[in-house]
Amino acid sequence: MSTKAKLKAYWTALYPQDDQSRLDRFLDTLTPYVNDINSTESDWYKDAVVYSLYVDLYNKNFNGLIAKLDYLSALGVTCLWLLPILDSPMRDAGFDIRNYDLIRHELLGLPADSTKQQQEESFSLFMAELQKRNLRVIFDFAANHTSEEHPWFVEAKKSNDNPHRDYYIWSKDTSLYGEARLLFKGMENSNWEPSGEDFFFHRFFSFQPDLNYRNPDVLVEMSKYLLYWQHIGVDGFRADAIPYLWKEAGTDCENLPNTHIIVKFFRAILDYVKPGTLLLAEACQQPAKVVEYMGNGDECHAAYHFPMMPMLYKAMAKHSFEPIKNILNTAVTPVIPESGQWFTFLRCHDELSLELVYVSEEDRKFIHESYCHDPEWDFRLGEGISARLANLMQFDDRRIGLAYSMMLSLPGTPVIYYGDEFGKENDEAYYREMIQLTGKNDTRFHVRGKIDWIKREAQLKQPETFQARVFNRIQQLLNVRKKHKAFGRGSIGFLEINNPDGTVNTTVLAYWRIYKDEKILIIQNLADIAQKVLTPTISGVLVDLLSIERPISTFLNLAPFEYRWYRMM
């Protein structure tokens, strides 16, 4: 079936009463752009090393970011994930989008009255600098909701018969969609917010009204925004909060069949114009549910493996490989489509999430007690921890190195959160500032904050500092990883490591990563005490990828939190 035929089929499934003339008119406008750029590497995301950042917090604006591109390339980064850059009142760090086809003018160094053409020209300069360094770029696209300041919602509030009224969900009965869980428990009291004589529906903050995809005009207009940025040259989109797109009475309004059809439509419309534009699912669900957002290779290309992240922390806290083996068991994490990929991370712009949708109450309690070292880091009444990696690991570069060793060598595409490469700490001043600005006590502001590059560069120049030790560990791992496709594409085979008496050592996590002729062995001590173990028997020569000063003999003596990467020759 052609891509155009797929689009028509999806449309019919969503809007059986529509005669498709609206869709035909939309597709006719795309004819000049179809396949204007041929993608020669449609699965580039499998080999990527992604770096996530806020442009303004990272280094003031896009010019500041350009000044750090060589630093990022040297670190080992191949793709930038720009956290929200679109026009926004910034009450939710930019996820409350006011205009989907405008970048915040201050990020581009332009005045508030700059034209759209000026914005495009300025952003194109940034894109050109990326291309010089073979760097790709993706950014956030919040498809579920807008800001209350979006022109559509401003119009929608004016009257019940306004043309944009039906772009959102309105009701006088707040029991509608009563089964939908309250996502921002502790920060919001309801999914309904009063406006005039009616209420509008929202799954996140009350200033972020949900879009109504029952209205086909909404699907068309949101697709136009995706295509606009695709045409400008963006390599992909992080599809924010996609499990909630379609609402049905009598359901929890998550992961509904029509939600998947909307995602299929977005994927098909991007493929229709330029195949290879990444669609990355942000779906906070159990792995079996998340896999559904990759479909049969016809929805998102990739998805975050949210449950993997807390299991990395649990494994380190319990000094046991079982959490990792369990989460990657195919009974828990199903096999994904051949074109699919997991994206993995240690920290991000949000909390260390312990939502009960994908961790047990026992795990939530254990991880929270093990890592929430300050009560102020608590998020959503115990369902998360708002802290930077350095704070969680209590500023121990060995533990940070081990955490990165696991993330970078387990299956998936890794995401590095800005500043974690040198152990950036929680930003208390930024947290207080944002509470005053937003009126919300959102503890996630702890993990954001600005980078003082004069201070950080001075620290990185001194090898004995904590920051330099963390940076050197991560840079070494990243640059080794980039040389071996087995990390991003290969299979995994767990290996038991035995004690000298022949019993299995459960504190040592070991596995093979295999892709074509590459075979890489990873051995990691999850414990805070040294381990003496038997060297695994293999039919080949092991070459140490991280050091040439550790000869292999009958026994391996692993220091606390030590990790080793070998290639079998």
216-232 vs 3-14: helix crossing angle, rounded to 10: 150
Which letter does DSSP use for residue 425 in this model? P
Q: Which pLDDT band, with edges at 50, 70 and 90, does 39 fall under? A: low
Does the pLDDT of residue 38 top 90, yes or no?
no
Tokens, residue 495: 């290996």
Mean pLDDT of 26-35: 87
Residue 282 a catalytic site member: yes
Mean pLDDT rounded to a whole number for the chain:
95
Active site residue 464: no
Tens digit of each residue's pLDDT (9 = 90 or more) over 208-232: 999 999 999 999 999 999 999 999 9
> What pLDDT score was predicted for residue 34?
82
- Structure confidence by residue, pLDDT tens digits, 481-502: 999 999 999 999 999 999 999 9
What domains appear along the chain, each with residue ranges and CATH number? 146-210 (3.90.400.10), 305-482 (3.20.20.80), 490-568 (2.60.40.1180)
Which residues, including other chains, have CB under 8 Å from residue 321's CB and lie 6 or more apart? 315, 494, 506, 507, 508, 509, 510, 526
Q: Which stretch, 32-36, 210-214, 356-360, has highest mean pLDDT? A: 210-214
What contacts 4, CB < 8 A, 6 or more positions away? 27, 272
Q: Taking 60 as the threshold, does the pLDDT of residue 5 lie above it?
A: yes
**Band of pLDDT at residue 527, cut at 50, 70 and 90:** very high
Confidence of residue 40 (pLDDT cuts 50, 70, 90): low
Catalytically annotated residue among 47, 240, 363, 442:
240
pLDDT of residue 496: 96
Q: DSSP readout, 167-189?
A: GB-EES-TTTTTTS--TTBTTBS
pLDDT at 282: 93
- φ, ψ of residue 518 to 5 degrees: the values are -95, 135
**What are the φ and ψ backbone dihedral angles of 371, each rounded to 5 degrees?**
-125, -15
The confidence band for 381, taking pLDDT boundaries of 50, 70 and 90, is confident
- Cα separation, 63 vs 77, in Å, equals 18
pLDDT tens digits, one per residue of 127-158: 999 999 999 999 999 999 999 999 999 999 99
pLDDT(363) > 80: yes
Section 468-478 average pLDDT = 98
Pairing status of strand 170-171 against strand 384-385 = unpaired
Q: Looking at residue 134, what is its pLDDT?
A: 97
Residue-wise pLDDT tens digits, 114-130: 999 999 999 999 999 99
Q: Say if CB 535 and CB 510 are below 8 A apart.
A: no
Residue 187 has pLDDT above 90, yes or no: no
Residue 307, pLDDT above cutoff 70: yes
- Could you give the residue ranges of the DSSP H alpha helices within 279-360? 287-291, 308-318, 322-328
Do 56 and 108 meet the contact criterion of CB atoms below 8 Å apart? no
- CB 473, CB 397: distance < 8 Å: yes
Q: Could you tell me if 385 and 352 are in contact, meaning their C-beta atoms sit under 8 angstroms apart?
A: yes
* Per annotation, catalytic residue among 87, 148, 193, 282: 282
Between these two residues, 553 and 99, which has the higher pLDDT value?
99
Q: How far is CA 306 from the centre of its chain?
A: 9
Q: Which of 244-248, 381-385, 537-541 is the most confident on average? A: 244-248
